[in-house]
Structure 1
Amino acid sequence: MLEEVDSWLTRRSWAASDRPLDRLLAARDRDPRGSSVSVVLPALNEEATVGEIVRVIRRELMEKVPLVDELVVIDSGSTDATSAVARAAGARVVHRDAILPRLPAVPGKGEVLWRSLFVTSGEIVCFVDADLKDFSADFVSGIIGPLLTDPGIQFVKAMYDRPLEDGHAPAGTPAQGGRVTELVARPLLNLHWPKLAGFVQPLGGEYAVRRRLLEQLAFPVGYGVELGLLVDALHTVGLDALAQVDVGVRRHRHQDGQALGRMAATIYRTAQLRLSRGHLVRPMLTQFERDEDGFRPHTYVVDTEERPPVREIAEYTTRRAA
């Protein structure tokens, strides 16, 4: 297995600079419809960062070079000016609750990604988190590159350094940002899905996937979505259809320790479900906070819901047929 992972790393890991923009444009010209690209930003209260991300993508990848066909921000219930800022910067903004209204939405990132497939049309769908700082267009062009130039590749993750800059470590400390990745996701993948051990950022929110693959995958509604999609993609299309691209450095806001604990529980549950398809004994997580009376427990429900493959939804198949 180690040899297989090493071989995959050699053949399926690249830098964004390995595919210049002129090469990507030439590949698009050969198959304009099959290489159409939708970029999706799931957003919840990201007014401080979403505008600059939208502006960079529009300027660099829609106006200077025509690589991206549509840029959509899915607002999952922001209480700030996220929608207005994104719209002013040039994105099409769709509210989560306006998509497939017959099915009430539930909170969660995976829910938003799943619903985005109903309002986008690109044959390549590129997801980008909306909280990134110092955003570079390489986050998009880098990860769509292998999909545009190699028909055998179906799923591409971004890889990057994640410096921790939130006061818990010296500013710029390299590779300390992905705490849930290192403590939960990486051990799970190495122990249970060792073929995926070569992914540097398995939980990263920047990845591009062919629509025909996304149509076949179930979407965990919460933070387990990245792990779930990666594991299911492996089982659906095999390791050689997966790849990763180095896009440099990812800077974003970091969650506090308790939020990370809830994320970790959700990710563990996603893995557990895929290992056994059984039931959790207690789909809850209790955490503690100190107040003037001592430690006070707070119990949270761990996401246990998944959305089915979109090809099983009548509204989706009807829209695609049209």
Structure 2
Amino acid sequence: MRPDVHRWLRRRTYTATAWTAVDLAEARRSQGTTVSVVLPALDEEPTVGAIVRAIREALVHDTPLVDEVVVVDSGSSDRTAAVAAAAGATVVDTASVLPAHGRVPGKGEALWKGLHATGGDLVVFVDADLVGFDPQFVVGLLGPLLTDPAIGYVKALYDRPLTTAEGIVPSGGGRVTELLARPLLNAWWPQLAGFVQPLSGEYAGRRELLEQVPFVSGYGVEFGLLVDLAGRAGVDALAQVDLGTRRHSHQSDAALGRMAGQILQTALARRPAPGPPDPELLQFLRTADGVEAVSWDVSVTERPPMGSVRAGGRSRS
């Protein structure tokens, strides 16, 4: 493992249980900091209401940590907007935010317009399809931001149980991460190899930093934000927090292929100057103490065309 990644992992990896909502609410009050939570949503009627309700009950009413909860609806065909509003969220449609800029499809568009539609100094983004949502997710993501002014952006890491025909596998999921995003980061941005879940949909940042980088309209948004924010603020301004277990619906392989295509386009648009890719691949295992990094050498050797080998052999004979 690269020494800089090893240092970053030890310095900038946290556990959500390190903070309580009460302690962070006091820190927020003393700093005069405001907090917004944004949920991008498209046809999430079964889950969005419970998430909004949990945040408002635990972190607005019981403990004043969050100032506003905004659901950004990307033109849902179900009752997502109505359910979210009934649960207490402010609901905005992507078409109504910055109308002069038009409307393009994709999750990143909802996040970008959610940034505009909110006013918090700190902005927390949470996917609207989570099952069994825990408000401690929000607490954990806010912890580093409210206790360390040097940190500007925080990503979640977690286990993702994968539902299969044989039942629920306790770890797994994140197929696009393991097959595409992690190899890309390790190859071209190895300084970011320590992020366990680079595509996680739960993250938080300081508005002043988030407003300095572009938002990719589609599923490449998380990859783009990670690379761009590291380039803007430096890797040490980024952190990750272990949230434990995250459950959500799983998409088909075809849908994941389309997601991977958008992430690949995002990465290619940001690819650094030409040069050989880094040969190390860092993967992660869950252990009793958290997560453990495992390093692999994925370098390859390219043999010459056999015709040239045989031609060379004949010439020497």
Q: Does structure 1 conserve the Cα–Cα contact (< 8 Å) formed by 2:185 and 2:192?
A: yes
Residue in 2 that maps onto 1:103 = 101
Letter in 1 for 2:128: A
- CA deviation after TM superposition for structure 1 residue 277, in Å: 9.5
Distance 2:25 2:262 in 1: 39
Q: Does structure 2 conserve the Cα–Cα contact (< 8 Å) formed by 1:156 and 1:244?
A: yes
Distance 1:141 1:243 in 2: 14
Q: Deviation digits for residues 176-208 of structure 1, max 9, x if unmatched?
A: 110000000000011111111111110010000
Matched, 1:7 2:7: yes
Distance 1:53 1:110 in 2: 20
Q: Does structure 2 conserve the Cα–Cα contact (< 8 Å) formed by 1:188 and 1:271?
A: yes
Q: Highest CA radius of gyration, 1 or 2?
A: 2
% identical aligned pairs = 58
Q: Deviation digits for residues 197-256 of structure 1, max 9, x if unmatched?
A: 111110010000100111110111000000000000110000110001111111100110
Distance 2:235 2:264 in 1: 22
- Superposed, 1:302-321 pairs within 5 Å as none
Matched, 1:233 2:229: yes
Letter in 1 for 2:9: L
> Match of 1:49, SS?
helix
Letter in 2 for 1:275: R
Letter in 2 for 1:2: R
Cα RMSD of the aligned pairs, angstroms, is: 1.4
Worse-matched range after superposition: 193-202 or 1-10 = 1-10
Matched, 1:117 2:115: yes
Residue in 2 that maps onto 1:256 = 252
Letter in 2 for 1:117: L
Residue in 2 that maps onto 1:25 = 25
Gaps in structure 1 of 5+ consecutive residues: 279-322
- CA deviation after TM superposition for structure 1 residue 175, in Å: 2.8
Q: Does structure 2 conserve the Cα–Cα contact (< 8 Å) formed by 1:43 and 1:73?
A: yes
Gaps in structure 2 of 5+ consecutive residues: 275-317
Letter in 2 for 1:155: Y
> Match of 1:204, SS?
coil
Residue number among 262, 266, 271 corresponding to 1:266 in the alignment: 262
Q: Does structure 2 conserve the Cα–Cα contact (< 8 Å) formed by 1:51 and 1:89?
A: yes
- CA deviation after TM superposition for structure 1 residue 22, in Å: 2.9
Residue in 2 that maps onto 1:307 = none
Residue in 2 that maps onto 1:163 = 161
Q: Deviation digits for residues 19-78 of structure 1, max 9, x if unmatched?
A: 22232122112212xx21100000000000000000000011001100000000000000
- CA deviation after TM superposition for structure 1 residue 85, in Å: 0.3
Matched, 1:141 2:139: yes
Distance 2:167 2:149 in 1: 41
TM-score of the aligned structures, taking structure 1 as reference length: 0.83
Q: Deviation digits for residues 96-148 of structure 1, max 9, x if unmatched?
A: 10001112101000011111122100010100000000000011111011101
277 and 211 in structure 1: CA distance in 2 versus 1, 3 angstrom threshold = farther
- CA deviation after TM superposition for structure 1 residue 172, in Å: 2.6
- Superposed, 1:78-93 pairs within 5 Å as 78-93=76-91
Distance 2:168 2:144 in 1: 30
TM-score of the aligned structures, taking structure 2 as reference length: 0.84
Residue in 2 that maps onto 1:242 = 238
